[in-house]
Amino acid sequence: MSHSTDLSSKREQLICLISGGLVFLISLVISRMYTGGDQVGYHNVYAVVSGLGLDDRWRDIHVIYLSRISAAEWVHLLVSLVGGGLDIEKNLLMSLVNAILAAYTVRLFLSWGANVWVATALVLTNYYFYVLYFAAERLKFAFLFLVLSLLFSRKKLCFIASTFLSIFSHFSIVFVYAGIWLSRLPQRLTHGRRISRWAIIASLAALTVFLLWNWDYLLWKLNNYQQTSGPMSIAKVLPVAVLLMLCCLYAKKKSEPVLALLPVLAGILMLDGSRLNMLGFFIFLYYGVQSKGGLNAGTVAVMLYFAYKTVIFVDAIYFLGQGFGVSG
């Protein structure tokens, strides 16, 4: 049994490495074609901070960064600063990050019970992953640390560090963590488990530090989202509502996915749905891949739909220089 487990573990590691390697090669090719959209700002800021160093005043670096990108997530800034300082070409660096994200995500999906082909197909063909690879650069780091926090959830220090880094990479990831916490709350209460005092203190401390650090930015971001996302509409939550129905179809406890997706649905109603739909899809995968390893009608249908969107996305990159259909 031990020998069989070792072989299975080595096989999974090989699958993760192959998936990461393929994503690295794909990224090297496509990233060089993605010259428009958000990448204009990202390339500009990377080129500018390459001439700076960690000995420069942080406030000055921050101002320069904000002049190119209207955001304050400092994880991406630090990566740009270190990568540029080491004279690593940006597309190469981000391709490496994409490979790491893909490899660890496959590992996470396999730990959830996903079929090998489903897990690899998701990171190689899914539209939302391609958005993370090539467009949503700051959110990519939030997803990477989210994946790491879930993989190492039993190692408290790793979990806390990854969670902090995930939230400080992109604030919207808070909706996923809120969903995870809510979905587990009934089980804790019904089994008479007390919520750790230190867990509450750590959570409140993290939230306080984050709010104090980013209060002005969060107010600006909230106002910006409300101005650009239009009036509150039930139609905005339709994509995640469909995913919720599929989650309930495959989840053993029907209340669990409802609670997990509740913060995402609330966020979509209040803010912008584009990124939060992606977060809803990630939560859906947790339930979808646990039923027959993901080889069920609902999950396969969703995968095929998003694979089709990936073709359109890559086609737009090739012809227009960015994936969202507007020439720059």
| Distance separating alpha carbons of residues 314 and 90, to the nearest angstrom | 20
| Distance separating alpha carbons of residues 178 and 172, to the nearest angstrom | 10
Closest CA to 153 of 286, 15, 244: 286
- The answer to whether 136 and 53 have CB atoms below 8 angstroms apart is no
Q: What pLDDT shows up at residue 44?
A: 86
Q: What pLDDT shows up at residue 4?
A: 43
Q: What pLDDT shows up at residue 3?
A: 42
Q: What pLDDT shows up at residue 196?
A: 57
First to last CA, the chain: 58
What tokens appear for 198 in the block? 């230190």
Q: What pTM did the predictor assign?
A: 0.88
Distances (CA, A) of 71 to 57, 68, 92, 206: 19, 9, 23, 20
Residue 52 burial (CB count, 10 A): 17
pLDDT (tens digit, 0 to 9) for every residue of the chain, 328 residues total?
A: 344 455 568 889 999 999 999 999 999 999 999 999 889 989 888 888 776 655 556 666 767 777 677 666 778 888 988 888 888 999 999 999 999 999 999 999 999 999 999 999 999 999 999 999 999 999 999 999 999 999 998 888 898 899 889 988 888 898 999 899 888 877 766 655 555 555 556 666 666 666 665 656 556 555 655 555 555 556 778 899 999 999 999 998 999 999 999 999 988 877 666 778 999 999 999 999 999 999 999 999 999 999 999 999 999 999 999 998 654 4
| Distance separating alpha carbons of residues 176 and 239, to the nearest angstrom | 16
Which residue type is seen at 120? Answer: T
Q: What pLDDT shows up at residue 187?
A: 72
Dihedral angle sign, alpha carbons of residues 323, 109, 95, 60: positive
Q: What pLDDT shows up at residue 80?
A: 87
Q: What pLDDT shows up at residue 168?
A: 84
Q: What pLDDT shows up at residue 144?
A: 97
Tell me the Cα Rg of the chain.
20
Which residue type is seen at 52? Answer: L
Helix runs in the chain, H state only: 2-31, 38-49, 58-68, 74-85, 90-111, 116-125, 127-134, 137-151, 156-169, 174-190, 197-228, 238-250, 255-270, 273-288, 297-320
| Distance separating alpha carbons of residues 180 and 110, to the nearest angstrom | 19
> Which residue in the block uniquely carries the two structure tokens 């089994």?
191
Distances (CA, A) of 144 to 128, 129, 155, 173: 13, 11, 17, 11
| Distance separating alpha carbons of residues 296 and 298, to the nearest angstrom | 6
Q: What pLDDT shows up at residue 281?
A: 96
Closest CA to 28 of 109, 80, 90, 85: 90
Q: What pLDDT shows up at residue 77?
A: 85
| Distance separating alpha carbons of residues 261 and 240, to the nearest angstrom | 8
Which residue type is seen at 262? Answer: L
User: pLDDT tens digits, residue range 59-98?
Assistant: 667 677 776 776 667 788 889 888 888 889 999 999 999 9
Closest CA to 214 of 61, 74, 68: 74
User: pLDDT tens digits, residue range 149-173?
Assistant: 999 988 888 988 998 899 888 888 9
